[in-house]
């Protein structure tokens, strides 16, 4: 089934949302990604604002694919991995550029995963894919529902495989994603997106 | 979650109306944030239809006030990004000290937390007596709050930590008096502040400054409007004046970039020609 859906869909952008326990999944998958990457990846993680540039460096070490923090007004290009900056919401504009927003925290979070999911869904629609990982927060679930509604591809980490099951479990309670993935399957999933 | 009730086309109609009826120009703002805020307002105020919403906005000037207040983002903090304030203390203020009189413009100051932080820095650098802070914003109701200098007491723990990280040596609580759940800042800090509405989109330069702070405002503007505002700042800066931006904003690719030199690792530039 997994194969089918991945073969059928043409994806431009994958957004990965995660909170507590999600970084290890990303660090595990990064070295296994094929370069060049056919799509753009946008990573939105909840984190302490202080750990800022360290996180970009941490990800850079793990892959030869270019990894950078998303700059405001930057055009989203395939073949690149973008990281949402700490303490700003990351929004996607219709012209496929990023914009930043310093409004109130949502779900106790800034960046808020729902917000990036929502604005991206309205721009990319069927050509959007999203993956929601481990976390102790409900952020991202509503956005995932919208992505499903607008025809995008949805994937959720298997709660049993996640370090903190709350976030992926909450997603499964609310929707039936196209794919449920273990940590070990994430890289393969991403490599198949095209 | 559902798709936004207010569509992209709806947003364009409202922006055109605002410009036509009231002369407020939001057409060069980034759309994603605007769209989200307009949607939020539409739901909050429970309009039965977009047509009704639009009509209300066009015909009721008091609703315009609410609209502008609600679609702009006013979140702010004292001593936000302590490293930035540290750089102001160590690199910028010593330079400003050489002027007989110091004029500082805080553009998009929101509810004033930045202005009070700046006033505290000036006091601690012994420059307060010869300084004047012009704090401006498009939104009159945030300025009204700024003028009171009263902030939630619940924020003080965070602000105090920020203050200390910025190099503050005093007991932060010496700057305010606590009253129930509010912290009222020392009246003296206000004596050097001038609050006024100023719209960066349409209003002109109104003085010459040694330092301009405009933080987390330009992220809401598109590239063209950013360039226009940079020009305004350039015109409003003294020959060796400083321009300070938010931690994710840059002068780098703007038309005035060549006239400025970045100073240190924070988002602070000095005019060199
Ligand atoms: C996110 S707040 C930034 C507050 C503060 N500078 C900080 O960094 O914490 C943005 C402010 O910019 C103001 N603003 C938005 N458009 C403006 C314009 N055209 N002219 C002046 N101020 C504007 C808003 O009203 C709001 O108070």
Q: Give residue limits of the domains in chain B.
A: 8-71, 82-271
| Interface residue of A72, A107, A150 to substitute, partner B, most B CBs within 10 Å | A72
**Closest by CA position to B189, among listed B175, B200, B170, B173:** B175
Q: What is the pLDDT of residue A51?
A: 56
- pLDDT of A49 higher than 70: no
Contact A72 B3 (CB under 8 A): no
Residue B3: its pLDDT value, please?
85
Model confidence over A105-138: pLDDT tens digits? 998 999 999 999 999 999 999 999 999 999 999 9
pLDDT at A52 over 90: no
Residues of A with a Cβ under 8 Å from any B Cβ are: 71-73, 85, 88, 91-94, 99-104, 114-115, 118-119, 121-122, 142-143, 145-146, 149-150
The predicted pLDDT at position A54 comes to 86
Predicted pLDDT at B104: 98
| Share above pLDDT 90 across residues of chain A, in percent, rounded to a whole number | 89
Contact A115, A122 (CB under 8 A): no
Confidence of residue B2 (pLDDT cuts 50, 70, 90): confident
Q: What percent of chain B has pLDDT over 90?
A: 97
Rounded to whole angstroms, the Cα distance separating B52 from B95 reads 55
Read off the pLDDT of each residue in B59-79 and give the average, rounded to a whole number.
96
Q: Provide the whole-model pTM.
A: 0.96
The answer to whether B75 touches A104, Cβ cutoff 8 Å, is yes
Q: Contact, B107 vs B194, CB < 8 A?
A: no
B235-247 pLDDT, tens digit each = 999 999 999 999 9
Residue B75 touches chain A, beta carbons under 8 Å: yes
Please name the residues in contact with A137: beta carbons below 8 A apart, sequence gap of 6 or more. A19, A20, A46, A107, A108, A109, A166, A167
Contact B192, B119 (CB under 8 A): yes
Taking the domains of chain A in order of start, what are their residue ranges? 4-111+122-127+147-192
Residues 17-46 of B with CB under 8 A from A: 30-33, 36-37
Q: Within a 10 A sphere around the Cβ of B250, how many other Cβ atoms?
A: 18
Instruction: Please count the other Cβ atoms lying within 10 Å of the Cβ belonging to residue B85.
Output: 26
pLDDT above 80 for B20: yes
Instruction: Round to whole Å and give the CA distance between B46 and B41.
Output: 8
Confidence of residue A47 (pLDDT cuts 50, 70, 90): confident
Q: What is the pLDDT of residue A50?
A: 59
**Would you identify the CATH topology of the domain B82-271?**
Rossmann fold (3.40.50)
Could you give the percent of chain B with pLDDT greater than 70?
A: 100
Cis peptide, bond prior to residue B198, ω within 30 of zero: no
CATH of domain A4-111+122-127+147-192: 3.40.50.180
Could you identify the atom of ligand 1 that is nearest to the CA of residue B77? 9
**Average of per-residue pLDDT across B158-177:** 97
Chain mean position to CA A99:
16
**Active-site amino acid positions of A:** 19, 46, 139
User: Which residue is it, tokens 């569509």?
Assistant: B7
Selected for mutation to probe chain B from A102, A110, A120, A154 (highest B CB count within 10 Å) is: A102
Whether the pLDDT of residue B224 is over 60: the answer is yes
pLDDT at B45 over 90: yes
What mean pLDDT value characterizes chain A? 94
- In which band, very low, low, confident or very high, does the pLDDT at A2 lie, cut at 50, 70 and 90? low
Give per-residue pLDDT as tens, B73-114: 999 999 999 999 999 999 999 999 999 999 999 999 999 999
The pLDDT of residue A3:
60
Mean pLDDT of B29-57: 96
Instruction: List, as own/partner pairs, every contact residues B257-260 make where C-beta atoms lie below 8 angstroms and the sequence separation is at least 24, other chains included.
Output: B259/B234
């Amino acid at each position: 089934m997994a194969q089918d859906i991945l073969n059928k869909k043409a994806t431009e952008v994958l957004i990965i949302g995660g909170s507590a326990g999600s970084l290890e999944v990303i660090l595990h998958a990064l070295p296994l990604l094929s370069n060049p990457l056919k799509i753009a990846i946008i990573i939105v993680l909840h984190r302490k604002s202080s750990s800022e540039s360290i996180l970009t460096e941490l990800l850079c070490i793990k892959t030869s694919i270019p990894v950078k923090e998303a700059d405001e007004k930057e055009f989203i290009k395939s073949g690149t991995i973008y990281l949402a900056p700490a303490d700003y919401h990351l929004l996607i504009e219709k012209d496929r550029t990023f914009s930043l927003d310093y409004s109130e925290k949502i779900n106790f979070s800034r960046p808020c995963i729902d917000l990036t999911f929502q604005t991206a869904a309205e721009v990319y629609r069927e050509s959007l894919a999203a993956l929601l990982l481990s976390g102790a927060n409900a952020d991202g679930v509503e956005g995932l529902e919208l992505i499903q509604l607008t025809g995008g591809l949805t994937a959720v980490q298997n709660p049993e495989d996640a370090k903190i099951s709350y976030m992926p479990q909450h997603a499964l309670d609310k929707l039936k994603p196209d794919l449920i993935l273990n940590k070990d399957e994430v890289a393969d999933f991403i490599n198949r997106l095209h | 979650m559902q798709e936004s009730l207010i569509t992209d086309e709806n947003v364009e109609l409202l922006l055109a109306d605002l410009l036509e009826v009231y002369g407020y120009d939001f057409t060069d703002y980034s759309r994603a944030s605007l769209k989200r805020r307009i949607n939020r307002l539409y739901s909050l105020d429970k309009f039965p239809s977009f047509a009704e919403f639009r009509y209300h906005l066009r015909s009721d000037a008091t609703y315009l006030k609410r609209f502008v207040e609600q679609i702009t983002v006013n979140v702010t903090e004292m001593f936000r990004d302590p490293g930035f304030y540290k750089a102001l203390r160590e690199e910028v203020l010593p330079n400003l000290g050489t002027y007989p009189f110091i004029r500082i413009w805080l553009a998009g100051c929101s509810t004033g937390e930045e202005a009070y932080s700046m006033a505290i820095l000036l006091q601690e650098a012994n420059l307060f007596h010869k300084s004047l802070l012009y704090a401006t914003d498009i939104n009159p109701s945030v300025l009204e709050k700024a003028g009171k200098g009263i902030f939630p007491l619940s924020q003080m723990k965070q602000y105090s930590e920020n203050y200390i990280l910025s190099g503050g040596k005093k007991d932060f609580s010496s700057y305010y008096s606590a009253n129930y759940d509010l912290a009222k800042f020392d009246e003296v800090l206000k004596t050097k502040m001038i609050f006024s509405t100023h719209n960066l989109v349409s209003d002109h330069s109104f003085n010459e400054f040694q330092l301009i702070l405009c933080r987390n405002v330009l992220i809401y503007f598109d590239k063209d409007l950013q360039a226009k505002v940079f020009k305004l700042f350039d015109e409003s800066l003294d020959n060796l004046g400083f321009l300070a931006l938010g931690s994710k904003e840059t002068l780098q690719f703007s038309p005035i970039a060549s006239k400025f030199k970045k100073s240190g690792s924070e988002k602070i530039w000095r005019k060199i020609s």
